[in-house]
Amino acid sequence: MRKSKKSRKWLRNLFLTFALVIVAGLIYSVYQYKSGLAMADDGPYKDDGKTYDPFEGADVQFGQINVLLLGSDARDEDGRSDSLMIAHYDQTTNDVKLISIMRDTYVDIPEHGMNKINAAFAFGGPELVRKTIKQNFDIDVNYYAVADFKGFPKIIDLLAPDGIEVDIPYEMSYGIGMTLHPGKQTLHGDGLLGYVRFRHDRLSDFGRVERQQEVLTKVKEQIGVSSLMNLPKLLGVADSYFDTNVDNKTILTIGKGIVNGKSSMDTLRIPIANSYEDKRTNVGDVLDIDLDKNKQALEEFLSSKDNEKND
């Protein structure tokens, strides 16, 4: 009888301890989430005031998740997307693949004809971008996320609190509201935003896309357990600066997979090298691409298990 009572008492104490841990975790998560919301009081999506046409993304197949990432620029008065990427996540291997599509890529936009791909966002939001990608490149996208660039520094500082080391080849200042000096240095949120947005050099948008991929790859390398602990705060910030249909459960699943697994990140730029030519059209200067060559490169990139960065 004495042993039975001790056993019940031990089990009761264990249950109470477990319950307290759960309650403490919930309180911590709520506090962190509200703290994130407070950090994002100027976010354009804070009050859910912006709406898009229903997104009809394909169902996830075989654990292969494609998320359409769109960067919006408040300075762009016609509402075109400033950057366009597809993030591919493999739930089996936890590997990430990042595809950047140049915004001046000349494509057929459904019901609008030939235009720069970044015009699709202005014409019909994320759903029309999804349709455009499907029609031209035959890639199914499952989710979307529209990011306001004002939130980039705060999110980067949460994911990489120690900053990101970059090697700046020359002075960068025009159009980014700051001056970045040449040389190796560690940049934090605002500095990194300037670094990834600068495009007034001989490489123009090509250099900017390369820097965006560089920074995202280095941020991914820094994601660890501390980043997972900051996830509630990160979601709070993202609620105000992101409009997305990715549910929190999926975000948590991807986050845990990246943190716990030995994952890699590979990158690709569309158009690939030697597959396009500069062309003057009625919509301005565009990148007239070899569609078949780029579709093949995309298919090989997504199906390959071990990719090298495409120049």
* Residues of the chain with confidence (pLDDT) below 70: 1-51, 73-79, 224-231, 259-262, 305-311
Question: What integer pLDDT is reported at residue 248 of this predicted model?
Answer: 77
Question: What integer pLDDT is reported at residue 308 of this predicted model?
Answer: 44
- 205 backbone dihedrals φ, ψ, rounded to 5°: -70, -20
Question: What integer pLDDT is reported at residue 310 of this predicted model?
Answer: 44
Question: What integer pLDDT is reported at residue 246 of this predicted model?
Answer: 87
**How much is the pTM?**
0.81
Q: Hey, what are 147's tokens?
A: 């990011």
Number of residues in the chain: 311
Question: What integer pLDDT is reported at residue 184 of this predicted model?
Answer: 95
Question: Nearest to residue 83, comparing CAs of 106, 101, 109?
Answer: 101
Are the C-beta atoms of 83 and 158 separated by less than 8 Å? no
User: Per residue in 179-237, pLDDT tens?
Assistant: 999 999 999 989 999 999 888 887 888 998 999 999 988 888 877 656 666 667 777 77
